[in-house]
């Protein structure tokens, strides 16, 4: 898969990334069908194949159940080849999500993510927005993220947003933004292009409308062909789908 540089961070990453909600959580998620969380062998096969295909960005979050902890084991020995993106601000405990956007909450979350991922630093940490915090992120939170960066625990910071307004509000202070774009939802296209022009790295979530879209290949080609987009983070636990998605982005490139 072709690679692009993630905004001004200097981090090169594959244009197709792997989303890992389905590696760690199958309750309270909005996919079209229920699914079993893959076994360790299945997850290892998926990640091994992703590696072979040249995929080197992997997206996780504390909110994705056991995803971070599993990646800690699954990426062992391969850590250096991966760009790990995780989040902070949304926690998942005893089967329920809870938000904590305080500076101390965010620090605790990042430090816990590092322990779960069995690493001493992650490439990207994004605030896992609830749709509101992104519109007015407090100075204390930005400062805590900057401190984590100075300490070397995090290389790049930003926000996973839920609205055009939120993305605009966070853009000036973010190295990276995660936004939504797919064939059925184009509202964020302009703000994505703007982020690209301003040197902010752009990761796309829900490029296939979380599995609800009609033509996955066409949606993915549109997404990676959109100016400003660095990488489409597609969530899959199917090796066949992973390979198909790779072919689609190669055809586009």
Ligand X SMILES: NC(=O)c1ccc[n+]([C@@H]2O[C@H](COP(=O)([O-])OP(=O)(O)OC[C@H]3O[C@@H](n4cnc5c(N)ncnc54)[C@H](OP(=O)(O)O)[C@@H]3O)[C@@H](O)[C@H]2O)c1
Considering only residues 41 through 100, tell me which ones interact with ligand X, judged by CB under 6 A: 59, 87
Task: Using CB positions, name the residue nearest to ligand X.
Answer: 19
Contact 57, 175 (CB under 8 A): no
Q: How many residues bind ligand X (CB under 6 A)?
A: 27
Question: Taking CB under 6 A as the rule, does residue 246 contact ligand X?
Answer: no
Taken in order 205, 224, 187, 219, the sign of the CA dihedral is negative
CB of 71 to ligand X, least distance (A): 11
- Candidate list 3, 173, 241, 252; residue touching ligand X; CB under 6 A: 241
236 and 245 Cβ atoms separated by less than 8 Å: yes
Instruction: Enumerate residues 6+ apart whose C-beta is below 8 A from 132.
Output: none
Question: Token digits for 11?
Answer: 């981090």
- Residue nearer to ligand X on the CB measure, 151 or 158: 158
Closer residue to ligand X, CB minimum distance, 108 or 244: 244
Q: Helix (H, G, I), strand (E, B), or coil: what is residue 106? A: helix
Among 15, 154, 178, 224, binds ligand X (CB under 6 A): 178
**Termini Cα distance of the chain:** 9
The answer to whether residue 185 is catalytic is no
Q: Which of 207, 222, 224, 246 binds ligand X (CB under 6 A)?
A: 207
| Chain residues 95-154 in contact with ligand X, contact rule CB under 6 A | 128
Degrees, nearest 5: CA angle 96-119-228: 75
Which member of 22, 23, 25, 64 is catalytic? 64
For residue 201, the cross-strand partners are 176
Question: Does residue number 189 form part of the binding site for ligand X (CB under 6 A)?
Answer: no
CB of 29 to ligand X, least distance (A): 8
Chosen residue from 206, 221, 226, 230 binding ligand X by CB under 6 A: 206
Options 50, 177, 179, 237; binder of ligand X; rule CB under 6 A:
237
Coil vs helix vs strand at 75: coil
Angle between helices 103-116 and 67-74 (to 10 degrees): 40
Binding part of the chain for ligand X, among 37-45, 135-143, 185-193, 227-235 by CB under 6 A, reads 227-235
Enter the DSSP assignment of 253: -
217 neighbors 243 (Cβ within 8 angstroms): no
φ and ψ at residue 126, rounded to 5 degrees: -115, 140
Q: Is 216 in the site for ligand X (CB under 6 A)?
A: yes
So which residues are the catalytic ones? 64
* Binding residues vs ligand X (CB under 6 A): 19-22, 31, 59, 87, 128, 160, 178, 205-211, 216, 233-238, 241, 244-245
């Amino acid at each position: 898969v072709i690679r692009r540089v993630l905004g001004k961070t200097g981090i090169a990453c594959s244009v197709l990334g792997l989303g890992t909600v389905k590696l760690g959580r199958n309750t309270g998620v909005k996919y079209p069908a229920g699914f079993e969380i893959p076994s360790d062998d299945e997850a290892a096969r998926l990640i091994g194949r992703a590696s072979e295909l040249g995929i080197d960005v992997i997206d996780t979050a504390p909110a994705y159940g056991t995803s971070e902890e599993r990646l800690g084991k699954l990426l062992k020995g391969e850590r250096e080849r991966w760009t790990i993106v995780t989040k902070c601000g949304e926690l998942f405990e005893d089967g329920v999500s809870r938000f904590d956007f305080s500076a101390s909450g965010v620090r605790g979350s990042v430090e816990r993510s590092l322990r779960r991922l069995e690493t001493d630093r992650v490439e990207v940490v994004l605030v896992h927005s609830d749709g509101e915090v992104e519109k007015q992120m407090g100075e204390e939170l930005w400062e805590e993220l900057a401190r984590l960066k100075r300490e070397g625990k995090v290389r790049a910071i930003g926000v996973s947003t839920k609205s055009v307004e939120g993305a605009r509000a966070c853009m000036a202070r973010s190295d990276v933004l995660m936004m939504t774009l797919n064939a059925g939802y184009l509202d964020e296209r302009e703000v994505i292009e703007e982020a690209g022009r301003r040197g902010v790295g752009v990761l796309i979530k829900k490029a296939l409308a979380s599995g609800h879209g009609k033509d996955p290949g066409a949606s993915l080609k549109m997404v990676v062909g959109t100016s400003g987009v660095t990488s489409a983070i597609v969530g899959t636990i199917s090796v066949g789908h992973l390979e198909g998605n790779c072919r689609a982005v190669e055809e586009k490139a």
